[in-house]
Structure 1
């Protein structure tokens, strides 16, 4: 409020006018009332001529205050006009961007980048939130680097997945869970990469549950096309030399997307798109079928291992567990080069009996699992009765905790 006061509302203006007027009224009253006042006034003027002269400077001071106030108001007006022109320029360029890019997006039949995304993309690329600080409408200095990062990391993620997935499938074709893990990592890495680009330049965010190879492929292709449409500012992104096979970098990456989609479809054995939701459905279906066909001993061992591993991971805060599939799954953990590895596996003696074994670098612990012929009712359901040693596995669990504790303690030392 105080920055935009009228001149007549300022304290200095009121003082410059009010003080002389009040003084003149007081002096007139004295001269009119007292006979000796004129002589006293003459003596006063003789004595106080200089102070009175100084007091008369109020008039030029008022003029100075007025000029200074007008100057400040003028400067503020100019600043407001400058800001207004800056925002008008921004919205004019945004409108042009939306019109031109919107037509190209529509003609190219984009599916990932839509016309509704363009205002957000323009806002991020030209830093709407920093427009007053910058004082001009210019491309974000890091925009090219951010798009290049997305492009390069997409290629690295794809080639790494294809290499490791193919190698593991060739050596261990029956280890479907491990292959599921590679595919899950692929979706996660690609989604994180696209999420980072969404934060950087405002493209659409895709949730992991909605992701698919096709969406990631479309996103890559359309981001490259958008960079090309942006012209020489993004030349570093799209003007890349051909690779050794004579193809462009982008064509090779898109071909790899297509190859990976076929690989994932073949692995899942389903007709439909290679998507995260289909992967989750396929994994869940296989687990249900596996449990339905498993023996009571297999289900008991599976549930016991899952509970034990859950307790261990929660207590020691690690997630690196390798799973080897088979009639009974074998677990190796932790899988770090700097730590010794423990193995949890089942040694079957018969269809109804066997030992759950924890192997450490210097010891081995066993717990005897036995399926009994008796049935018991639990929560209204009939279940097979079983035993684990003579203490339901308490000693085995205690030894497992001690073994893993010694692994992490030795690493800390």
Structure 2
């Protein structure tokens, strides 16, 4: 089966519709839209890509993830065949797995992670034939040696001949579910307990929820940058100004640059990918240009202002480079994010933060995110809890001022007197 796979590495997918569709589908992975992933499409597309145009371990990873979610014997058989082919290539001609020799260690790391993903899925219970499990176990010693990682062999239950004759066939194990968290639901306000990934997903998903009802919602755009930069306390470590941060995939850059239509799908692609690449200032610039060209000048200006705030806070970002030595802050971005780009820029960091959030919170009155007064008030209360739990008192104060204004203009004031008093006290 090894001759089914392509015999060299390639990254030139800019015109490949299959690859672009595959990346779009996998962008939902471990997000709140995870359940909508078409795993049969991911599996068939990954296998086709590996067979026809690239020996890329990222595609191997996609193949493994989709096979696990399909929980299909034939899919696992193809996956193990792919593992064998990649192992042979790694032993005989590792340069085929990467664009250049410098990338090989990274590709090996992804390969190792993919093997670990598969072995963990087997421990959780998957529909794997015994013969295929044995075939994988035969690869384990060499995989461990070539990838400098210890891999466990798959446990295969021993059965004597008599037991096999009389024993009823076991039920097929249930489909292995992916280990992704949905604890980022809006109902939880204790975000101080979130991991960095949960924190990022919380704000990304909240932003997208707002944009579903109003793509002009300023609050939604501010939350994107909380997802990107809310947990960043310092710049990454560097050696001679070169960090270990990977430069975004060329196909992602082309995807960003080629987006023309402003719609929820395209905005979501920008948001999710920017959140995963917080030091890619060029990506933010492309986002600003996209918003501006789409008639969303106010939103573009907001993004510019927040980026300027971040750059002023971490001014050394202008000196740093990605692993491949592209600048974090290119000359083109430096020109774009000049103070001339934003006439409302304020020198005080606290004032800039307050003013941006004040304008954003005011936008909640216009948001179509809520369907009635009670849910709108609940939204404001939850948002105030989030800011308070993070010590963002100035932002919480703005929210409480909106709560006071809201209650004073509804017929529910008596019913909400306790909330009203608390909000007034905070002010």
Higher alpha-carbon Rg: 1
Judge same fold: TM > 0.5, yes or no: no
* TM class by smaller structure: under 0.3
Higher relative contact order (CA 8 A, sep 6+): 2
Higher strand share: 1
The TM-score, its normalising length taken from structure 2, stands at 0.25
Q: TM-score normalised to the size of structure 1? A: 0.25
